[in-house]
Every structure is written in C-alpha cells, then in structure tokens.
Amino acid sequence: MTNTETHLAIITGGGTGLGLATGLELRRRGWHVVALGLDKEPEIENSGIEYTRMDVTDEPAIEKLASQTGRLDLLVNAAGVILHAGREHTAEGFRKVIDVNLHGTQLACMHFRQALAEAGGSIINFASMWSYFGSGRNPGYSASKGAIVSLTRSLAVAYAPQGIRVNAIAPGWVETRMAADAFSDPERAAPIKSRIPAGRWGRPAEVAAAAAFLASADASYINGVTLPVDGGYSIA
C-alpha cells in the first residue's frame, strides 16, 4: 500500500454509493484513499482511489490489512447491505444484514484501532435515519443501524484515551443505488419527498462533505455524535 499524501483514509464499501462519494471528496482534498469492498461503480476509475476487493466480514483479511497499515488517519465504515422482498424477515436474511452492517463495522474498528492510535486518527461510521425509525420492510437493516449509533458512542468512550475520535453520519433519503427502489416507486416516492423539509432528495456529495468535516481538524472536539444529513426528514 502506497501513501504519498499526508493523510490516509480506508473506506469499507468505498467502491459504491456514499462510501465512494466520501472517497472522491477526500481525494479532492488531497487524501490518499483506499476503498475496500465487493463492488465498485465506474466513477472510481481514474479517481486516484486505490480499490481492494475485500469482504468486510472476513476477519483474517481485515486483520492482515490492518497489520500492514502503520498509521491511519481515518477509517470510514460505509459497507452495508439491505435485503428486499421480505428477506430480512427470515433468519438467514436478518443475520446477513447484521453481519455486514454491524459486525463488519466492529471488526474494522477493532483491527484498525492501533493504526488509528498511531496517527491520532478518527472513525466515521454510517448509521441511517432508520437508526431511529422502525422499518416494517427492513427490520434487519433498521436494527443494525440502530446498533451502529450505540457502537459509535461506546467506541468513542473506549478509544478516546488513544486520541481516536469516533462519530457517525445518519443519511436520509439520498440519491444512491441502494435507495433506487424507493425513488422509482411513485407510491413511495411522493409521500417521502413531501415530508422532507428541504423539498428534495439528498445528493451523495452532501453526505461526503459532512464526512470530510467530521474527519477534519475543525471537528477536533466532536466525539461520539451521530450527525443527521437528511434535509430535515427526521424532525418533520
């Protein structure tokens, strides 16, 4: 792994969606970015982001990469899955979502802790508006994201003595591939949009900008928070 820039960020789920958007924003600000995941979108090509195919639930692989990382300024846990058509109401589907969204986040935090301590770095976890709302369609996703808020608070306390800040972002309805089913269904899209005080869907770049702020020195006294980036959806 090369590190020619001043700051190094590792982003799980960094090849797609909000993880990719965050990586592109950090690259724009001069960071060296390594994206981990099982999928990638065309925008990653020629972006300068270093992509490594990796399953975030593969603990030996995560542990090996962490052992090769001398110092790390930022870990972004954006890897996540959501299952539709009732699959999260099955034991197998529920377990899979929890394994990726929650357990994958915990594994990365645990194994990269020492590298983050070496740099006095920070962690940004991805929660969701569904950290706070129940979801009849996706109980596994909602449960996993609720747990991310609690995990973020717990690790913020645990890692603070090593100079590591741990925060989270809770995106609302943002134009990503994961939310495409809702946007493409008029019966769902209309009431969702009418509830958003901002009057529109969010853009991935807006979530990425929030992540870049939490990673910056401007947020040096912010620790253990979950920042909603939802156009006001959660308060409407």
Q: Is 141 a catalytic residue?
A: yes
Strands 50-53 and 32-37: parallel
Q: If you search the block for the tokens 């770095």, which residue do you land on?
A: 121
Strand extents, DSSP E, the chain: 8-12, 32-37, 50-53, 74-77, 122-126, 165-171, 226-229
Q: Which of 51, 132, 141, 233 is catalytic?
A: 141
Backbone φ, ψ for residue 35 (5° rounding): -105, 130
* In contact, 103 and 81? CB cutoff 8 Å: no
Tokens of residue 147, six digits: 């747990």
Question: Which amino acid makes up residue 43?
Answer: E
Which are the catalytic amino acids? Answer: 141
